[in-house]
Amino acid sequence: MLLAQVLLNGVLLGGLYALMAMGLALVWGVLNIVNLAHGAFIMLGAYVTYFLFTKAHLDPFLALPFTALVLFCLGYGLQRGLLNLVIRSPMFNTLLITFGLEVVLTFLAQTAFSADFRTINPDYAGANFELAGLTVPQVQLAAFVVATGLSIGLWAFLLRSRPGRSIRAVSQNLLAAQLQGIEPRRIYALTFGLGTALAGVAGGLYGTVSQINPYIGASLTAKSFVIAIIGGLDNPLGVIVGGIFLGTAELLTALYIGPTYTEVASFGILVLVLLVKPTGLLGRTT
């Protein structure tokens, strides 16, 4: 029964992990930018949701659309005003500029919010129910449903909508997309905005299940990177699988080996996937 409970908790955690990685994978796949500031955007999303909850008394789940809008505008503006200047540069340049952005955002958050740990605790934070002898935390279940729904929604958006098809066209063949009248700069800004919006929502959900402070970004960037590689950059559903796989693996490692070894397990899985299937679990093999 303990194993079944751990597996359930791992799946619920994995859904949130998948949403964290979805924005990173989207930006990486389309703009070819490994966004080292991704975790900082997750952190900012957590704080936006936190203050909407504590100051505006808005339920954290109802606050998520506002969080997504704020982070989308921030990401869109940063891409048009800053990252677009180095969009054709070598990847090392983009790594440097996004790392610098992460440092700046973390410093500004620490200055504005202090380094204190905070949590988003609605009245139902500790509520749970029994299902087949297992305890299901309601907040974690709601976060899993929202995260999975958004991940599937992104997949449908990329496949079915005109902007989504434009994003896919730019990622697959930039010259052909330009010949079809697609403006790359607009698509790049839209993509980065969507990536930061997803990161913001992931941060809001993360704040309901864990503590937040300005320094959580670096570890969340690393975790998102691992999940994006495991799942495959060209398949949003693969990122969902990668997130659930990693969340379950971490909790099993904590149960049978020890909680101090969860990060070792994460990167061990990354190395194994790179050796066996470098394109990711559900990535296309070329």
pLDDT tier at 216, thresholds 50, 70, 90:
very high
Say what the pLDDT of residue 281 is.
64
Say what the pLDDT of residue 258 is.
84
**Phi, psi at residue 131, to the nearest 5°?**
-140, 110
Share of residues in the chain with pLDDT > 70 (%): 96
Per-residue pLDDT averaged across 177-196, rounded? Answer: 86
Q: Are strands 128-131 and 134-137 parallel, antiparallel or unpaired?
A: antiparallel
pLDDT tens per residue across span 136-181: 888 888 888 888 888 788 888 888 888 888 888 887 777 787 777 8
pLDDT tens per residue across span 64-104: 999 999 999 999 999 988 888 887 778 788 889 999 999 99
**Rounded-to-integer distance, Cα 33 and Cα 233, Å:** 12
- Cβ atoms 227, 15 nearer than 8 A: no
Both tokens of 181, joined, read 């009248």
0.85 surpassed by pTM? yes
Indicate the helix (H) or strand (E) that contains 247.
helix 236-256
Say what the pLDDT of residue 57 is.
92
- Cβ atoms 58, 237 nearer than 8 A: no
Which residue's entry shows tokens 């930061």? 196
Indicate the helix (H) or strand (E) that contains 135.
strand 134-137
- 146 Cβ contact list (under 8 Å, min separation 6): 19, 61, 64, 201, 205
Whether the predicted pLDDT of 234 surpasses 70: no
DSSP 3-state of 26: helix
Q: Report which DSSP code applies to 284.
A: P
- Cβ atoms 105, 40 nearer than 8 A: yes
Per-residue pLDDT averaged across 254-274, rounded? Answer: 83
- Reference 191, options 158, 237, 153, 230; nearest CA is 158
First vs last C-alpha separation in the chain: 42
Give the fold, CATH level 3, of 2-276: ABC transporter involved in vitamin B12 uptake, BtuC (1.10.3470)
DSSP 3-state of 161: coil
Say what the pLDDT of residue 150 is.
85
pLDDT tens per residue across span 23-42: 898 888 888 888 999 999 99
Q: How far is CA 61 from CA 38, 157, 213, 217, 265, in A?
A: 21, 22, 20, 21, 31
